Every structure is written in structure tokens, then in C-alpha cells.
Amino acid sequence: MNRRVAHLALAVSLAGCFGVVIPAAAQAPAAPPVPAAPAARPKPAAAPQAQASPKPAVANPAAPKPAAPKPSPGSAVWATVPEAERIAVQSDLIWTGDYNGVATPEFGERAVAAVKAWQKQHGSKETGQLEPADRGRLAEQARILRERVGWTIRDDRASGVRLGLPESMAPKASPAQGGGGTHWQSGKGEVQVYTFRFAGPDVTLAQAFEQQKKEPKTRSVQYAVMKGDFFVVSGLQGLKKFYVRAHVKDREVRGMTVLYDQALEGTMDPVAVAMSSAFVPFPESTAGVAAPRRRVEYASAVAVGAAGDLVTDARALEQCRSVQVVGHGYAEIRAREAGVALLHLYGAPRLPALALAPGGTAGSDATLVGIVDPAQQGGGAAVSTWAVKLAPGGTVTPLPPPGFSGAAAVDASGRLVGMVVSSPTQVAGPGGPGTGFVSAETIGRLLAAQGVDAGAPPARSGLDAAKAAAVRVICVRD
């Protein structure tokens, strides 16, 4: 058995033990319990001459309950850490390849061992606990790995599931063959992701399980387990690794398949674990329909090129019939990557481009520069600022006001250190709406890939330069 495949399948299959993390376990009705055999009736004791009401505490003493296992010192310490942080740490360890499990509120021995493994690799004392400096290093490593594959959380309208996707690894989307799902793939098919949905009065999880083990015929199953309301199948499909996860609810089975070349296992094995942890087969907020979007949505953008190039939040521009930059005309979406959309203005006066800051900025103070939604400023379009902390893992606190999706994050010198994006939570677990942060490094890679020339440094400096480069973007939907 391919050892890495076995480890991956075993780790992810443990998700069934944690109904809190896999939402279907909480949302779907529990599987009916197997009827227990009737308890044998005790033979009646000889009746006393004078029948008296028995004292329950004496006549039928309760069996002593076994003592609950004591948590290890490492787990006990993590129990005092806020739940969101426990999940975030496990998520980061998944991305670094140190934790082949599921991000849950429970921080067990396997998670503690993963912390120690990470500490050993980085020359830290193997305590199983993370000091603030090490926590920041771990979060930054995971953030870079997520950005490298273009990790994002998507609601798939075709199948109704919510899943994490490595969009940079599989950017091409099309309807899945036979309908009922979506197919994402890389240019030559080295990485592929499928979603699927089966529904009907005769649909059962067991039938879908057997089908996924046998089809297509090129599959060589190395691990397969069905437990409760879900199953996992993994192994080799031709020369590729494959991983399937599916859940059932009310005669409907929804699932996903991840397929990738064995040469990419160093990158894709942790991604597959993260995808399994983030998979939500029956999300309450979507129920098979994309979250409703405003017909007219406002966002911020910042000029980054010498010839009318801007970047903004890609999610804010989804399903747009037209995109307009206020005061400059209509814009074309040139590219999208890792939550960033690159826009281009044709024939408009050049905007002063903002310079990108070198190096990382996790854990540093920054200032957001953007334009608040007109509903929040009496219909106005004034550029405003918002002081924030860029925390480890790509989070922004405090949350910025509406309209700041795509707002520039700048340092004290007015250089672009990143951008605010409105996206589901980026941990390797069920996602929810939130505000994230994309680094200048990611933006720079996108600009380089598209051949964007940043041009000469801006004539202004500090916040004045950032304000001059900020514009409002309007997305109009049908």
C-alpha cells in the first residue's frame, strides 16, 4: 500500500469521530441505532411472606461509572485556549504537513504530537505548546502555503456543497460530466477536483460507496470505509492518487473527488487533507443555491500599474455583468488569483500606482485605505482610512466597514503591504463569511505573471500616495 495514501485516508477518515467539525454530522439526521437485543429478565427472587416496597438504592444499586480518562498535560493546557485558536492551530499544522487529521475543537494527543513535530523541525523546544513567536511563524508558513495554491472556500451551485479549492492548481471550471456537479482542473489535468450529487427515492449511501469503489475501472482502492452518514475511498486511479468523500442526508448523496499526479503529492497531500476538513456537504446557508448577492455591489480598488491596472477583491466581482471604476469608466477583469482580481482601464487618465512593500508584514500594524459603501456615508465617495492589526494567519482586526473589500493595506511609508478581501474563513475547516488579507507578495506574483509594469514611484508619499491610488469599483449584476 502506498504509505502516504494510507496515512491520508486514515487521518481524514477520523473525521467521522468529530461531528462538530464535519457539519453534515450535525445537520443530517443521525443514523437509526441498531435495535438492541431485549435485556434478559432476571429470575424473580423468592417472595417474602410480607411484601414491602423495596428500597431502590439497596435492592438495585447502580453500577459505578468508569472514571473518565484524564487528559494528558499537553491536551489539558490546550483546553484553556479559545476554541477558534485550537482549530486554527490544527488547520495550520495540516497545511505544513505535520498534522494528518481534522481541525476540531478538541486538541488531542495527535494534535499535540503534531505541534512537537513542527517544533522539532524548526529547532524549538518540543513542549507541545506554542509560544507567541512560534505561533506567528507557524501561521505565516501556513498562510504562504494557502496563498501558493490559491486556497479559497466555494459554494458549488451544481452540487450544493461548500468546499475548499486550490484555485491556482485547478483554475479551469466546467460542468461535471453527467451533470450534478462541477469539474475543476489544471491546464493539462495534473490536478482535478469533482463534485457530485445523487438524489432519488432509491439512493443509498451504501450504493454510492460500492459505485465509487468500482468506477472507473482504473481505480485501485487502497482504503475504503463507510461510517455513519459518510464514506471515504482512496487509492490510485491510473497513475494518479484519488480521494473521495461523500455524505448522505434524506436520500441524497453529495461528495467530492480529488485527483492528482503522484509527482505532486508533496504539495497536494496536505491540500487533500485540508479539503476534507473544509468539506460541507449540506451547508445551511446555501442549500444548493449560491448565497444571494446585491444587484449593485461596491468595493474598493488600488492602482498598481502605470497603464491603468488596478487590483481589488475577486469575490466582490463575481457574476458581474459590468464593472465600473467611478470617475474613470468601465474596466476589464484581466485575471483572478488567490482572491485578487486584476482590472485594466482603457483610455482613461493614468492613476498614480502604489509601490509594493518588500518582505512580510504578519503581526504588524497597518492602515487600510478605501471607500466606504455609499449607504454608510450618505451617498458620498470620500476616501477614508482604517487602522488595523494584520494578525498571523491572514486575519484583519478590527473588521473594516462595508465597501472596504479590495481596500489597500499600507505601512507607515504608504507602501502596499497587502489588500483586504471578503472571503470565507481560510482555515482547513468549515468556512463562514469573514474578512481576509492577501499579501503584497501574492499581488506581486499576479502582476508579474500578467506582465504589469509598476512604473515610476508615486510623486506623493505616505497616506497621501495611498489615497490618490484608491478608487471605488461598482459591480452590476443581472
The DSSP line for 247-313 is EESSSEEEEEEEEEEGGGHHHHHHHHHHHHHH-BSS-TTTTTSPPP--SEEEEEEEE-STTSEEEEE
Exposed, middle or buried by CB within 10 Å (0-12, 13-18, 19+), for 272?
A: buried
Residues 329, 348: contact at Cβ < 8 Å? yes
What does the pLDDT read at residue 388? 86
C-alpha–C-alpha distance, residues 434 and 426, integer Å: 9
Residues 6+ apart with CB under 8 A from 407: 300, 302, 368, 369, 370, 371, 386, 400, 419, 420, 470
How far is it, in rounded angstroms, from Cα 356 to Cα 472? Answer: 20
Encoded amino acid at 191, one letter: V
The answer to whether 476 touches 322, Cβ cutoff 8 Å, is yes
DSSP line for 86-123: HHHHHHHHHHTTS--S---S---HHHHHHHHHHHHHTT
Residue 224 confidence (pLDDT): 95
Instruction: Please answer whether residues 371 and 384 qualify as being in contact, where contact means their C-beta atoms are separated by less than 8 angstroms.
Output: yes
284: left (phi over 0), alpha (psi -120 to 50) or beta: alpha
- Spatial contact of 351 and 310, defined as CB atoms under 8 Å apart: yes
Q: For every one of its 478 residues, what pLDDT tens digit does the chain have, with 9 covering 90 and above?
A: 444 444 444 444 444 443 333 333 333 333 333 333 333 444 444 444 444 444 444 444 444 555 555 556 667 888 888 888 889 899 999 999 999 888 888 899 999 999 999 999 999 999 999 988 888 889 899 999 999 999 998 888 889 899 999 999 999 999 887 768 899 999 999 999 999 998 877 889 999 999 999 999 999 999 999 999 999 999 999 999 999 999 999 889 999 999 999 999 999 999 999 999 999 999 875 433 444 567 888 999 999 987 889 999 998 888 888 899 988 888 899 998 888 999 998 776 677 888 888 765 545 788 999 998 887 777 788 999 988 887 766 677 777 888 899 999 998 888 888 898 875 544 455 444 456 788 888 898 899 888 887 655 665 667 888 899 999 999 988 7
- pLDDT at residue 345, rounded to an integer: 87
Cβ contact 198:215 at 8 Å: no
Helix (H), strand (E) at residue 424: strand 416-424
Q: What angle do CA 21, 27, 32 make, to 5 degrees?
A: 105
At 222, phi and psi to the nearest 5?
Answer: -110, -15
C-beta of residue 1 within 8 angstroms of C-beta of residue 218: no
Helix pair angle (132-149, 265-278), 10° resolution = 100
Under DSSP, is residue 429 helix (H, G, I), strand (E, B) or coil? Answer: coil
Helices 440-449, 132-149: axis angle to 10 degrees equals 20
The length of the chain, given as a count of residues = 478
Question: Which residue do the cell numbers 490546550 mark?
Answer: 78
In angstroms, rounded to a whole number, what is the distance separating the alpha carbons of residues 389 and 414? 16
C-alpha 426/C-alpha 91 separation (Å) is 9
**Confidence (pLDDT) at 376:** 73
Per-residue cell: 19: 461531528
Q: How many angstroms separate the CA atoms of 454 and 213, rounded? A: 52
428 HSE (CA, 13 A, CB side): 31
